Amino acid sequence: MRKFLAIYNREVKSYFSSPIAYIIIGLFLLITGVFYYLIVTSFVQYCMRADMQAQYYRMAPPKLNVNVMAIRNLFQNMSLFMSFFLPMITMRLYSDEKKTGTIELLMTSPITNLQSILGKFSAAVTLFLAMLAFTSVYMILLFIYGNPELGPVLTGYLGLFLLGSSYIAFGVFFSTLTDNQIIAAASTFVFILFFWAIGWVSAMVSPGLGHVLSSFSLIEHFEDFAKGVLDTKHIVYYLSFITMGLFLSFVSIESSRWRGR
């Protein structure tokens, strides 16, 4: 535990002592902020138009749901941006150690590969949580000026957390494969896109196969969270995905010892 913490603390400190963490968080907030603004203003315009129409036809104004029409949309956008920003967080975790040779220190110290993988993974998840925490400002604003339901917001965040952790687990794996950070980030991104695309393809093929494919899709499992539905099936899916990523990292590190690079 102490050694896990040593790795974890070092990684967290190294994130926050370099400008990279701030740039990534800043850009993520900027881009989600832009979409937040667009989504909310169009929702408000839509409401106003609906109100005017209702007055014109002398009907009661319709109840428009901010959860369905704005928040869900925002979560979906965030899940997409994460696939772009999270690989930038994970790319250096092992690649940099391989490049500078510090991996030799780690792998000749009395720490297990599991301790070092979990330490690095948790550090990246911590940075990711900081990113998510900042976006809660947007949600709080909605609560101040409107009355959305709390439930779907919470499940949405849980979904984002699980989805992002899955990205990170595989980001760790891809960074064990190469000493080049750019390659690590790019391959993580392509991998994530692939698991998204499975969802789109599934809509086009036969229903049976489509069902199987969509059950593998990273984003298909996120839909329910965004809607406010909490289903253990989806939680299990993401947890298996995370475990898989970390397990592959372990195998990759072990086998690189045999190969010698």
Partner 1 sequence: MIEVQNVTRYFGRVMAVNDVSFEVAKGEILGFLGPNAAGKTTTMRVLTTYLPATKGTAKVAGFDVHDQSMEVRKRIGYLPENPPLYQEMRVRDYLDFVAKIKQVEPKNRKKAVDEALGKTGTTNVGNRVIKTLSKGYKQRVGLAQALVHNPDVLILDEPTVGLDPKQIIEVRELIKSLAGNHTIILSTHILPEVSMTCERVVIIDKGKVVAEDSPDNLTKKLSGSMRFKVVVDAPRDQVEEKLRSLPGVKKVTPANAPGNKKLSTLLVEGQGKEEIRPVLVKSIIENGWNLYELTPEGMSLEDVFLHLTTKEEEPVQ
Ligand X SMILES: Nc1ncnc2c1ncn2[C@@H]1O[C@H](COP(=O)(O)OP(=O)(O)OP(=O)(O)O)[C@@H](O)[C@H]1O
Residues near ligand X (CB under 6 A)? 260-261
Smallest separation, CB 196 to partner 1 (Å): 34
Furthest-apart CA atoms within the chain: distance in Å: 78
Smallest separation, CB 172 to ligand X (Å): 22
Smallest separation, CB 103 to ligand X (Å): 12
Distance CA 62, CA 55 (A): 10
- In the numeric block, which tokens belong to residue 49? 């138009």
Q: Are 253 and 176 in contact (CB under 8 A)?
A: yes
For the beta carbon of residue 239, count every other beta carbon within 10 angstroms. 14
Asked if 207 touches partner 1 (CB under 8 A), the answer is: no
Distance CA 154, CA 158 (A): 6
Smallest separation, CB 29 to partner 1 (Å): 24
147 contacts which partner out of partner 1, ligand X, none, CB within 5 to 8 A by kind?
Answer: none
63 contacts which partner out of ligand X, partner 1, none, CB within 5 to 8 A by kind?
Answer: none
User: Taking CB under 8 A as the rule, which mask of x and - marks residues 15-54 in contact with partner 1?
Assistant: --xx------------------------------------
Smallest separation, CB 176 to ligand X (Å): 16
CA distances from 165 to 4, 53, 106, 205 (A): 18, 45, 24, 29
Helix 150-177, helix 113-145: angle, nearest 10: 150
User: Taking CB under 8 A as the rule, which mask of x and - marks residues 101-120 in contact with partner 1?
Assistant: xxxxxxxxxxxx--------
Closest CA to 76 of 160, 136, 167: 160
Q: Are 234 and 225 in contact (CB under 8 A)?
A: yes
| Binds partner 1 by CB under 8 A, chosen from 26, 149, 200, 257 | 257
For partner 1, the binding residues (CB under 8 A) are 2-3, 6-7, 10, 13-14, 17-18, 100-112, 257-260
